[in-house]
Structure 1
Amino acid sequence: MRRMRRLFSALLTGAAMIAATAAATGTAQAAPEDGTAAPSATVRVMPLGDSITDGYNVPGGYRIDLWQKFVAGGHSVDFVGSASNGPGNLPDRNHEGHSGWTIAQIDANITNWLRAYTPDTILLHIGTNDMYGSDPNGAAGRLNTLIDRITAQAPNAHLFVATIIPIPWADGTVRSFNAQIPGIVQNKVNAGKKVHLVDMYSALNASDLADGVHPNATGYSKMATRWYEALRSVPGSLGTAAVPASAGHGLAA
């Protein structure tokens, strides 16, 4: 009898050690047999663009408030990219925003970035530097090429393509470029691509800009809200949100 008790005790100890090891290493747990959903996998989100993605004037830019919205919504997200910056209240500072870069420069590097970071969701805001470059009229064509490259290499990723925010002193050029983006996106959608339009231009106005080009803190916060609204409207782009323990059985309005 004692021998049986010792054996049973050893089995319990072994099970406890296995459970502790799994918890310590972050091992995902299988879905319970009662049909309850298992915890959702972390979604790899790549903020992609120029200095506005980097956060010029406000290090971290829209990523600061967007991260807080992810946390409040119970979403498990990992920002990915080769660059990193932001304040202390932004725990995940990775991104792919490059100050001064044009659409063509992003296009020249995107293959390596996608291979290295394999994002599930991409937030693309690019074209501002093309507006005062040598060929603003060709910017839409370059954007089309970039989108094709992304969707060919990462066909299962959700690509959110934003119209660029206002540049008051180049408003006509910006409007002309932005007006072509919905058609570009719709063509991709018609071809079965996971591409989504985000109207970022209407989210900001001149008072939201610090220097006529880059947002101030209020402007970046507005961008975060617009990104989050767009992501929430597309099933799967943020995985499955967890329900905070304090929420009980109620649903947020």
Structure 2
Amino acid sequence: MALFATMSMTAGVSPATAGPEQWKIMPLGDSITHGDGSSTQSSYRADLWRILYPTHPGLDFVGSQQSGQLPDTDHEGHGGWMIDDLRAKTIGWIVAFQPRTILLHIGTNDMDRGPEPEQAPQRLGALLDDIEKAVPGTQVFVATLVPSKKAAVQERIDRFNAAVPGVVAGRAHVSLVRMDGLDPDLDLRDDLHPNDRGYGKMASLWGAALGG
């Protein structure tokens, strides 16, 4: 107790005056996380910030990329990337930024033009295992994929989304967030990317999962 008191006095900080608890969240994915289709390139991140910040003033989006119009533009959304592209880089980012929570929406490009789309659930599982091994206890929220206006792509998305709950089940610190309820006719800007309305729906779903 005496040591703690001495340290607090030296630093000029006490529990009563400490700032809000920091909550580092890494938005992780492809161009949907970046914000393609959004009028401001903000993706779901701007609306999610508005949902979470009032009750979590220590909120901190983290990542090496920046886009959009919101107080904290950091993220790891990389246009055109597939699951294995993320797998090659994600551990380095997590070690560097130390997020407590990851919001993962990945696989759209695997379904659109990737090789062996039927193996994408296994690739997703490998990415999740890498994260848990590298930084145990990192909380990962895995989204099912938003829909596509391309019929052939949507068939593959449906199969992928059906497999995602099984990928999530049994993995520690991993939770499922269903995004496949977006309306392709109302919520998409083009064949693959949400519009502002669609991103708003994504933000609400993330926020509900996070307790916002």
Task: Name the TM tier (shorter chain).
Answer: 0.7 to 0.9
1:51-110 CA distance string (max 9 Å, x none) = 0000012211100100111123344210000001112xx010000000000000000001
**What's the CA shift string for 1:219-248, capped at 9, x where partnerless?**
00000000000011xxxxx8xxxxxxxxxx
TM-score by length of 1: 0.74
Query: Whose Rg is larger?
Result: 1
**Counterpart contact for 1:122–1:160, Cα < 8 Å:** yes
1:70-109 equivalence runs, <5 A = 70-87=52-69, 90-109=70-89
Asked if residue 50 in structure 1 is aligned to residue 35 in structure 2, the reply is: no
Residues 174-197 of structure 1 deviation map (CA, whole Å, 9 limit, x = unaligned): 010011110111121xxxx11101
Cα distance in 2 for partners of 1:74, 1:127 equals 30
C-alpha separation in 1, matches of 2:15 and 2:123: 44
Q: Per-residue displacement from partner, 1:139-193 (whole Å, max 9, x unpaired)?
A: 11100100000111121211101101001322211010011110111121xxxx1
Q: 142-151 or 65-74: which moved more? A: 65-74
The change in CA–CA distance for 1:44 and 1:109 in structure 2 (over 3 A counts) is same
Q: Does residue 44 of structure 2 align to residue 62 of structure 1?
A: yes
Q: Within the alignment, does 1:213 sit opposite 2:196 as a pair?
A: no
| Corresponding residue SS for 2:130 | helix
Q: Partners in 2 of 1:144 and 1:196 — Cα distance? A: 13
C-alpha RMSD over aligned residues = 1.9
Shift of 1:39: 5.4
Quick one: which amino acid aligns to residue 45 of structure 2? R
Deviations 1:204-233 (A, max 9, x none): 11110000210000000000000000011x
Does residue 169 of structure 2 align to residue 186 of structure 1?
yes
Conserved 8 A contact 1:119-1:157: yes
How many residues were matched structurally? 198
Equivalences for residues 23-172 of structure 1 within 5 A: 27=13, 29-31=14-16, 40-58=20-38, 59-87=41-69, 90-132=70-112, 133-169=114-150, 170-172=153-155
Q: Distance in 2 between matches of 1:222 and 1:136?
A: 26
Letter in 2 for 1:148: D
State the TM-score, normalizing by the size of structure 2: 0.88
2:26 is paired with a residue of what secondary structure?
A: strand
- Alpha-carbon distance between aligned partners in 1 of 2:146 and 2:25, rounded to the nearest angstrom: 21
1:230 to 195, 209, 212: 209
Alignment gaps of 5+ in structure 1 = 1-17, 33-37, 233-237, 239-253
CA distance in 2, matches of 1:154, 1:60: 28
Local SS of the residue matching 2:142: strand
Look up the equivalent residue of 1:70 and give its one-letter code: L
Structure 2: give runs of 5+ residues left out of the alignment: 1-8
How many Å separate the matches in 1 of 2:32 and 2:176? 18
Percent identity of the aligned residues?
43
> Aligned partners of 1:216 and 1:117: how far apart in 2?
29
Alpha-carbon distance in 2 for matches of 1:158, 1:112: 16
Question: What does residue range 187-206 of structure 1 map to in structure 2 within 5 Å?
Answer: 187-188=170-171, 193-202=172-181, 204-206=182-184
